[in-house]
Amino acid sequence: MTEQLFKKHRFKCVSPLDYRYYGGDDTIFDRLSPYLSEEANICYIFKVERALARSLSKRGLAPAELPGKIDLVTKEIDPEEVYEEDKRVHHYLKAAVNVLKAHLPESMREYIHLGATSFDVVDTANAARLRDCYLDAVRPAALAFETALIVLARKQKDTVQVGRTHGRFASPVTFGYFIAGYVDRFGKSVLKMDDAALNLAGKFSGAVGSYNALSLMVDDPAEVEREVLGDLGLEPAMHSTQIVQPEYAAYFGCSVAVSFGVLANLADDLRHLHRSEINEVYEPFGAAQVGSSTMPHKRNPWNLEHVKSQYKAFMPRVVTILLDQISEHQRDLTNSASGRYMPEMLVGYFDALSRMIWVVDGLDVNLSAIEKNLEAAMMEISSEPLYISLSLAGLDDAHEWVRKASHGRSPNETVFQTLERNEELREYFKKAPSKALEAARDPRTYTGLAKSRTADICDAWEKRMLSECGEGES
């Protein structure tokens, strides 16, 4: 089906990816379809067959012009031909081979797929396209998001914000330091994806992994494997059966899921900060955008909610990826259907990543609300620096003193004020370090290393992501 026909008929599809998040988004479709579409899958299969032809022709086992001819004819092949042939032979890879042969001169057909088994081609093609999709499309978007986080963290590194643990007021941080946590977490997740993507392996070792067929043809079957895979920028696994060791794909899928989890966590945190009673941030909102079909005033964080929702849809697919580790003896077919869903993991992740870039780039930080919430928390959040101040002054069980005062204080005074007027503690207040007392008196100053650590983290990741980890390196 042509791209135009697909877009015209996508509403007849069942998957939300097809009619909404992938097929319905031209940007995502155009970036990912060259790697993850079924048309792309067939193209990569033909790339593997071309690489085999090149290695065989180098040894005089196939016509020298065969690789170039494969390049020419594969441009003419419609994926529909492969699927029509599959209906006849009931074997997907054999159908692709038959179609390729049919487009070649009769004198060249016998050399196609010679010495190969189906999953020499299928697993190698999948490794190449997943790696290429990651390096060419996903990783650049991930770097753009990391950059957006760094920009936001630096801009807000001095913005004092009340911390929240268990959903309740805690000690102060800065909003920039909060974002810097995600700079660090997301950056680490990208490095893990880098490693997993660049280590995706192929194989060309035959039906049981011991080079039986190629051993009848050449003296150096392992070298043929290295050449075929090298043509595609891949390395062979040290050992294979009829399939590539499934852990390569499992590590990659899990690394994507972990990175997806970081996105979902940030999306959820920012979503909570949108709450009317908090109101500290707003995601971008279009002039004609509607928040509710019946409440015209609504401005909802729907993109952030979407990211969390997509995470819920795709994170459980890791279970399927891990279940596909099990393949009996030299190989069974129990991953045949389940393995075809692997590319969708990247589509869901890329959709979420694209939205998060848009949200973070355009995030409206409500400084007045951050200050208002900090002011509201002042009655409570001096407790930690106060108990430390009194402990340093020699008060036994200062924590208990502050705890009781926190829960028994007047609503109109801070914990600091309650204890400061206690005659029993007057000498301890005099002996307490001035810096600690100042932090207890004005918790706005009680942010520790938040500001400097934000700068350090942003500097470190900017250097690492944009210099040490240049494209294609890890």
Instruction: Calculate the dihedral angle through the C-alpha atoms of 118, 122, 124, 127, rounding to the nearest 10 degrees.
Output: -160
Determine the Cα–Cα distance for residues 199 and 236; give it in Å rounded to an integer: 10
Predicted confidence at residue 469, as pLDDT, reads: 54
- State pLDDT tens for residues 5-17: 677 788 888 888 8
- This prediction's pTM: 0.93
- Specify the CATH superfamily of domain 37-114: Fumarase/aspartase (N-terminal domain) (1.10.275.10)
- State pLDDT tens for residues 406-454: 998 888 888 999 999 999 999 999 999 999 999 999 999 999 999 999 9
Predicted confidence at residue 353, as pLDDT, reads: 98
Going from N- to C-terminal start, the domains of the chain cover 1-32, 37-114, 118-371, 383-445
Angle between the 175-198 and 450-463 helix axes, to the nearest 10 degrees?
30
Comparing CA positions, the residue from 244, 208, 242 lying closest to residue 325 is: 244
- Taking a C-beta distance cutoff of 8 angstroms, is the pair 43, 370 a contact? no
CATH class, range 118-371: mainly alpha
The residues of the chain scoring below 70 in pLDDT are 1-3, 5, 468-474
